[in-house]
Amino acid sequence: MEEKKNAVIRAAANLRATLGLMFRHPLAKAGLVIVIVFTIMAVFAPLIAPYHHDEIISDSSGRWLSYQRPAAKFWLGTTDMGRGIFSQIVYGARTAFMVGLLAALMVMVIGTVVGLVSGYFGGWIDQIIMRVVDFVYGIPFLPFAMVLVTVLGGSRWNIIIAISVLLWRETCRVVRSQVLSLKERPFVEVARSAGAGNLRIIFVHLAPNIYPISLLYGVFAVGWAILTEAGLSFLGFGDPSSCSWGKMLQEAYLSQALSQGVWWWIFPPGIAIILIVMSTYFISQGIEEVVNPKLRSR
């Protein structure tokens, strides 16, 4: 019991040290600020958005307030059906975060566990797992996601599954390569001599040494997941009942907003996607300094 408590304390201390090193990087700080802003939007969307994302805004006579330019009343203008674009951006942050974070969590867990098992046991287990990874690498990502979402339906959960089924491969390979080196270290032999079983060695002794790498690829997965969800929604494979930045771009495209000069319908969702993906890249720069200490001296 005492040993488990000490292991938890060490893991918490390592996490604090990792986060401290991560956010020394100026780009990581900027990325964190962007993520916090979008997180607040996602969590408090009903309080921040002046209208519901599907609400059609009309005047006293019942006429839709379509194509209203950005102004004090409508911060980012309105769509062809009189929906508030600012409200859609705020509610769209919920979809982006749900898909991005849950897909990244699944990618981290699957890729890390499979990579740990493959690297530690080696032999025929490693050969089978690596052949599966090679097969997954041969599957084109976006067409596979489109087919899977078409078969299962365009819900957000199915999009998360489609993303997670393929993106774990990068995490698995990198974790495996680290474990192949770590399992030859003296601390593993000491743990084995002390009577530790294979699962204990994998998840108590090896896993804490590779979680910065898992976190790095998890952050990459957030960006990939948000881009994939936006792309699928733009192509018409998204969840029709939810508000998404990709769905906003699709509706703007189908309504020929650009040819009509309705630029305020196109730029906000595009900028939102760019900012949130950029923030994941910025945060990953801080994580790379933890994974590769040589970068800290640059």
Overall average pLDDT of the 242-249 stretch: 90
Confidence of residue 152 (pLDDT cuts 50, 70, 90): confident
- As a whole number of angstroms, the distance between CA 210 and CA 197 comes to 19
pLDDT of residue 89: 94
Q: Where are the domains of the chain?
A: 2-297
**Mean pLDDT across the chain, nearest whole number?**
83
Residues 6 or more apart whose Cβ sits within 8 Å of residue 273: 96, 226, 227, 230, 245, 246
Q: pLDDT tens digit string along 116-128?
A: 999 888 888 989 9
Give, for 295, the enclosing helix (H) or strand (E).
none
Q: How confident is the model at residue 114 (pLDDT cuts 50, 70, 90)?
A: very high
Are 115 and 179 in contact by the 8 Å Cβ rule? The answer is yes
Inform me whether the pLDDT recorded for 169 exceeds 60.
Answer: yes
User: Taking a C-beta distance cutoff of 8 angstroms, is the pair 28, 286 a contact?
Assistant: yes
Q: How far apart are CA 298 and CA 289, in angstroms?
A: 10
Place of tokens 């593993």: 188
Single pTM value for the model = 0.83
Rounded-to-5 percentages of helix, strand, coil across the chain = 75, 0, 25
Pick the more confident residue, 69 or 195.
Answer: 69
Q: Residue 294: is its pLDDT beyond 60?
A: no
pLDDT, residue 77, reads 87
Cβ neighbours, 10 Å, residue 6: 10
pLDDT at 297 over 70: no
267-291 and 85-121 helices cross at what angle (nearest 10)? Answer: 30
% of the chain exceeding 70 in pLDDT: 89
CB burial readout 75-93, b (16+ within 10 A) else e: ebbbbbebbbbbbbbbbbb
Is the pLDDT at 21 greater than 90? The verdict is no
Local structure of 66: helix, strand or coil: coil
Banded pLDDT at 93 (limits 50, 70, 90)? very high
8-state DSSP, 59: -
Confidence at residue 15, expressed as pLDDT on a 0 to 100 scale: 58
Question: Which residues, 6+ apart, have CB-to-CB distance to 139 below 8 Å?
Answer: 166
Helix (H) or strand (E) holding 240: none
What are the residues whose beta carbons fall under 8 Å from the beta carbon of 252, sequence distance 6 or more? 79, 258, 262, 265, 266, 269
Range among 13-17, 81-85, 152-156, 292-296 rated most confident: 81-85
Nearest CA to 216 out of 277, 281, 298, 293 is that of 281
Greater confidence (24 vs 146) lies with 146
The answer to whether 103 touches 167, Cβ cutoff 8 Å, is yes
Domain 2-297 falls in which CATH fold? MetI-like fold (1.10.3720)
Residue with tokens 């001599």: 193
Rounded distance between C-alpha atoms, residue 20 and residue 33, angstroms: 15
Min mean pLDDT across 3-12, 129-138, 141-150 is at 3-12
Q: What is the model's pLDDT at position 67?
A: 87
52 forms beta bridges with: none
> Which tokens is 32 given?
């964190």
Q: How far apart are CA 171 and CA 270, in angstroms?
A: 28
- pLDDT of 282 over the 70 cut: yes
pLDDT beyond 70 at 100: yes
Instruction: Examine the pLDDT at 7 and tell me if it is beyond 80.
Output: no
